[in-house]
Structure 1
Amino acid sequence: MNRKSGQLNLSGRSLTEVPDSVWRLNIDVPEEATSVSLDNTEDRWWDQTELTKLILASNWLTALSDDIRNFSALTVLDLHDNRLESLPDGLSELKNLQKLDISHNRLTSCPDCVCRLCGLVSLQVAHNQMESLGDGIGDLYQLQNFTTIYFYATFKIFAEFVLSFQDISNNQLGSLPHGLGYLTKLIKLNVSNNKITEIPPEIGCMNGLKFLDLTHNQVNSVPEDMGNLMHLEQLYIRHNQLQELPALTNCVALKELHLGNNIICEITLEHLQQLKSVSVLDLRDNKIPSLPEDITVLQVLERLDLTNNNLTGLPYSLGTINTLKSIVVDGNPMKSIRRDIVMRGTMELKKYLRSRLEVPVEPVSNPKGVVSSKGQSGVIGGGGDGINAHEVGQFKNLDYSGRQAIDIPEDVLQVAVKGEVTSVNLSKNNITSFPVSLVQLTETLKELMLGRNKLTVLHSDIGKFGRLTMLDLRNNALSDLPCEVADLQELREIVLSCNRFMQLPTVLYKLKKLEILFASDNKIEVIDADGLCQLPVLGTLDLQNNSINQVPPELGNCLQLKSLQISGNLFRNPRPAILAKGTPALLEYLRSRIVSS
């Protein structure tokens, strides 16, 4: 044991039981006490800290001694990857315990002693054999009366005491307890890979929920109460038995909805009107025969996955959604759209759809945030350009696009600073250099759009925007990115399409949270498969219309990719017929061509 740090790591030692001497660490006087000089301040054992972190992971433990109660100062207990079938009641006396990992064991239910751990911050119980959680889990609602500092997701400091079910997936749960509704501070709930058939209506009371994963269950309907989750941002209900889109009436913060691998056979305007905030809509592997023309109500939609449905065509209005960057329609019996048009990529497909409209329709742009409103009260900015200060503060969104501007007027910037905006749109202007004044927004900005300007170099100040989750640099004249981009560790999406890149900047491979990378219509010649495989959550990669003359087989090892678009390049292999089969088949084909050493 490290008596200074208060940590003891006994993981991976093939232990079948914990030695008695471990349980008496806080009781017995160490042997070194008889030989240590009283003048040696570094060796004064009586001044050393109590055990606060105990790691017993990856052993063969079948039981845990009730003497665990001796470690009253314990804050972290890691028991994952053992053979535990129960936990001792003494565990409930660890009132300082904040993190408990009991995943990968043989527990058949959530022990009562866990439900009495009022200080828990993180509880992981994935990969057990749990058939029920029990309503006792709801007793943890008392946590909301405490305060602490907890690091999570895109928040630098989340200053509330929060219980975070990191993962209760891969069990045998047939249902969820009604007591979950009491966990109003819960942020993330993952119950994927279970046998859940119904979702309790009390889930609508979980006001803090931002991430919910119900993938790989047997859910056939969603309670209307789920529509009360006003802070929900990501919802995964893939691989279930849904026949229609869920009713999500008041989920105004929802950004991603993943409904792939269900049996959805109809989408109506009523469904879509509830999804106006959604930017990612995954409907792959369903039975959808058509989309309504009213799909334009999804005015902030960026990714639409319709792979493997029954679509014979697409509504022409789909081409007018200006924010739409990716449409995937592989595996559909398209009759009204030629395959070569589909193979040209999203932008060409949208262009084709718009051309088929009898009456030209202006592209739909993001209605949220600031709009031009000359003459209204509170309108300021750049000589009457029409920025409504009230709406900037209300929607946390500054839209200063399409104004032929070369910089941001100071009065407009100050409105953004005062409104603590999270999104800034400066696209379709004449900006030639990065507006350094934007650094005043580093503490709040999460989305920055600089597309369709005249940038040739991206300033190193971009690295100061550590909260950025999305960066749009399309349609500029960039050929590289500064090394400071590596500091954007929260970045989930970057758009580099229509620039002058000869290769993907290597700095991108340091962005471990990057999920979406658009780099079509550049001059990229080589695919760095090893670099791309370093991005653990990269799901969408668009390299269409570049100068790639060879696709490395090792790219097939990037198993995290869900959408890979590489058509419109110089290579002859893989053939178009293989590309048309979709991403999983393409990756499998590439792996088959890896030569064993």
Structure 2
Amino acid sequence: MVARLQRNENFFAQRGGDANAAEKVRRAYQRCAESGTLNLSNQKLSGMLPEAVCGFQEESWAEKWWEQCPVTKLDVSMNALEQIPPSIGRLVECEVFLASSNQLTEVPRELGALPLKQLNLRSNALTALPLELGQLCSLVELILSENRLRELPAEVMELETLEVLDLGSNHLTALPGLRPWRCRLLRLDVSQNRLALLPDALCCERLRELSAARNQLRSVQLLDGERWKSLVSVDLSGNQLRELRLSNLRTLDSLIVSGNGLILLELHGDFPHLTVLMAESNKLRALPEGIPSRVPRLATLDFSNNDLTQLPPELGLLGRPLVTGDCNRLVSRHRRFQSRSGVRNHLAWNWLL
């Protein structure tokens, strides 16, 4: 009988142990001295961020110390860090700080003294933020998703350079709304929170993407075309909306309102760029008036799982849409509509009467 070969774990084990890890860090320091980027991601760091990181610029890691680059980007993501020391403020030229996928429960106020343009704290255990983050006058991108935040300091909304704000998957019940937001947001994600409303202070004329899916919203106002003149995509799915009225959103390309309790959806004015309208799993008894005249470029229309009893005859004029309307209560016996382009739209009804 041939003996079964056994795996030699000693052979496959990483040689060097802690010494090998220290060597990796040393090489990362040397690369940073040449490039200004200190990459310590996925290095099994735990507990407190080492003081040696914060004091990097006070040591010599380059052969010619006078040519050593200061730290402009620090990446400590995918570790098990629980704390960032106040001495992080010593990295006075750091513009990018990435600390996602750690175990941070708080961040020091000294972060507010850095010239940060990008701050990523996604997937930690943060419950609050220091007010000093409102001093990041150069910040462009702030990622705070997948934490435990219950409120957002109003000072953050005063950051005039902020363009991307991701607050998805937190415990927020409200957003700052005492005064108009001064930030110039292009993208705002507040999905998967506990928001009951979007504040009137949200008046970002440059905003292109708004995601507020899976909250507790009961009312949303998108009636002022000038106020929302740059809006391209809106996702309000999975809320508690009963009625939704939109007006003259001329740049809007995608509207998702699935999984609400909508009994009324109205489109006022023109929507010349709207190509996607997803309204499945609601309680609509009629489609918005003006299809296709108000939405001439509509390419995807999903109104399945509603309470529709009839379809407007104009629906057959859509040029190239994918139309889905199953699980309604349509009285029409027609299963196909002939479009202008000659393409037939197949509508599968489960409740033909």
Structures share fold, TM-score greater than 0.5: yes
The DSSP-based 3-state class of the residue aligned with 1:197 is coil
Aligned partner (choices 159, 173, 180) of residue 202 of structure 2: 180
1:251 aligns with 2:282: no
Matching of residues 8-47 of structure 1 within 5 Å: 8-12=38-42, 13-26=44-57, 28-30=58-60, 32=61, 43-47=63-67
1:284 aligns with 2:304: yes
Aligned partner (choices 69, 74, 80) of residue 89 of structure 2: 69
**Higher-helix-fraction structure:** 1
Evaluate the alpha carbon distance shift between residue 175 and residue 52 of structure 1 in structure 2; reply closer, same or farther with a 3 A threshold: farther
Evaluate the alpha carbon distance shift between residue 45 and residue 246 of structure 1 in structure 2; reply closer, same or farther with a 3 A threshold: farther
1:83 aligns with 2:113: no
1 CA distance for matches of 2:339 and 2:99?
Answer: 53
Query: Which blocks of at least 5 consecutive residues in structure 1 are unaligned?
Result: 34-42, 145-160, 336-597
Match of 1:169 in 2: 191
Evaluate the alpha carbon distance shift between residue 164 and residue 267 of structure 1 in structure 2; reply closer, same or farther with a 3 A threshold: closer
Shift of 1:18: 0.7
Match of 2:167 in 1: none
The DSSP-based 3-state class of the residue aligned with 1:91 is helix
Evaluate the alpha carbon distance shift between residue 124 and residue 269 of structure 1 in structure 2; reply closer, same or farther with a 3 A threshold: same
Per-residue CA deviations over 1:536-580 (Å, capped at 9, x if unaligned) read xxxxxxxxxxxxxxxxxxxxxxxxxxxxxxxxxxxxxxxxxxxxx
1 CA distance for matches of 2:198 and 2:261?
Answer: 17
The DSSP-based 3-state class of the residue aligned with 2:255 is strand
Evaluate the alpha carbon distance shift between residue 18 and residue 142 of structure 1 in structure 2; reply closer, same or farther with a 3 A threshold: closer
Shift of 1:232: 1.8
Matching of residues 461-500 of structure 1 within 5 Å: none
Evaluate the alpha carbon distance shift between residue 115 and residue 261 of structure 1 in structure 2; reply closer, same or farther with a 3 A threshold: farther
2 CA distance for matches of 1:184 and 1:110?
Answer: 26
Matching of residues 119-518 of structure 1 within 5 Å: 119-133=138-152, 135-141=154-160, 163-165=185-187, 167-181=189-203, 183-199=204-220, 205-222=227-244, 224=245, 226-270=246-290, 273-296=293-316, 299-313=318-332, 318-322=337-341, 324=343, 327-329=346-348, 332-334=350-352
Match of 1:154 in 2: none
Evaluate the alpha carbon distance shift between residue 200 and residue 19 of structure 1 in structure 2; reply closer, same or farther with a 3 A threshold: farther
How many aligned residue pairs are there?
A: 302
1 CA distance for matches of 2:290 and 2:346?
Answer: 22
Shift of 1:209: 2.4
Query: Which blocks of at least 5 consecutive residues in structure 2 are unaligned?
Result: 1-28, 164-182
2 CA distance for matches of 1:109 and 1:274?
Answer: 45
The DSSP-based 3-state class of the residue aligned with 1:16 is strand
The DSSP-based 3-state class of the residue aligned with 1:275 is coil
The TM-score normalised by the length of structure 2 is 0.71
Aligned partner (choices 76, 89, 106) of residue 56 of structure 1: 76
Per-residue CA deviations over 1:315-350 (Å, capped at 9, x if unaligned) read 688313427565452x62236xxxxxxxxxxxxxxx
2 CA distance for matches of 1:99 and 1:63?
Answer: 19
8 Å CA contact 1:52–1:74 kept in 2: the answer is yes
What is the letter of the counterpart of residue 29 of structure 1? E
8 Å CA contact 1:293–1:317 kept in 2: the answer is no
Evaluate the alpha carbon distance shift between residue 167 and residue 49 of structure 1 in structure 2; reply closer, same or farther with a 3 A threshold: farther
2 CA distance for matches of 1:314 and 1:76?
Answer: 61
8 Å CA contact 1:104–1:126 kept in 2: the answer is yes
2 CA distance for matches of 1:274 and 1:333?
Answer: 29
8 Å CA contact 2:109–2:132 kept in 1: the answer is yes
The DSSP-based 3-state class of the residue aligned with 2:309 is coil
The DSSP-based 3-state class of the residue aligned with 2:74 is strand
2 CA distance for matches of 1:227 and 1:219?
Answer: 17
Match of 2:37 in 1: 7
Shift of 1:7: 1.8
1 CA distance for matches of 2:311 and 2:326?
Answer: 13
Tell me which of the two structures has the higher relative contact order, counting C-alpha pairs closer than 8 angstroms and 6 or more residues apart.
2
8 Å CA contact 2:102–2:123 kept in 1: the answer is yes
**Higher-strand-fraction structure:** 2
2 CA distance for matches of 1:295 and 1:173?
Answer: 35
8 Å CA contact 1:90–1:113 kept in 2: the answer is yes
The TM-score normalised by the length of structure 1 is 0.45
8 Å CA contact 1:243–1:263 kept in 2: the answer is yes
What is the letter of the counterpart of residue 205 of structure 2? T
Shift of 1:22: 1.0
The DSSP-based 3-state class of the residue aligned with 2:301 is strand
Match of 1:402 in 2: none
Match of 1:486 in 2: none
What is the letter of the counterpart of residue 241 of structure 1? G
Identity of aligned residues (%): 25
What is the letter of the counterpart of residue 142 of structure 2? L
2 CA distance for matches of 1:62 and 1:282?
Answer: 45
Match of 1:99 in 2: 118
What is the letter of the counterpart of residue 286 of structure 1? N
Shift of 1:131: 4.2
The DSSP-based 3-state class of the residue aligned with 1:92 is helix
Per-residue CA deviations over 1:194-226 (Å, capped at 9, x if unaligned) read 33333355985243222222222223333x4x5
2 CA distance for matches of 1:172 and 1:76?
Answer: 30
1 CA distance for matches of 2:346 and 2:157?
Answer: 42
Evaluate the alpha carbon distance shift between residue 219 and residue 319 of structure 1 in structure 2; reply closer, same or farther with a 3 A threshold: same
Evaluate the alpha carbon distance shift between residue 106 and residue 203 of structure 1 in structure 2; reply closer, same or farther with a 3 A threshold: farther
2 CA distance for matches of 1:44 and 1:303?
Answer: 64
1 CA distance for matches of 2:111 and 2:97?
Answer: 10
Shift of 1:56: 2.2
2 CA distance for matches of 1:314 and 1:109?
Answer: 57
Match of 2:5 in 1: none
Per-residue CA deviations over 1:480-538 (Å, capped at 9, x if unaligned) read xxxxxxxxxxxxxxxxxxxxxxxxxxxxxxxxxxxxxxxxxxxxxxxxxxxxxxxxxxx
The DSSP-based 3-state class of the residue aligned with 1:180 is coil
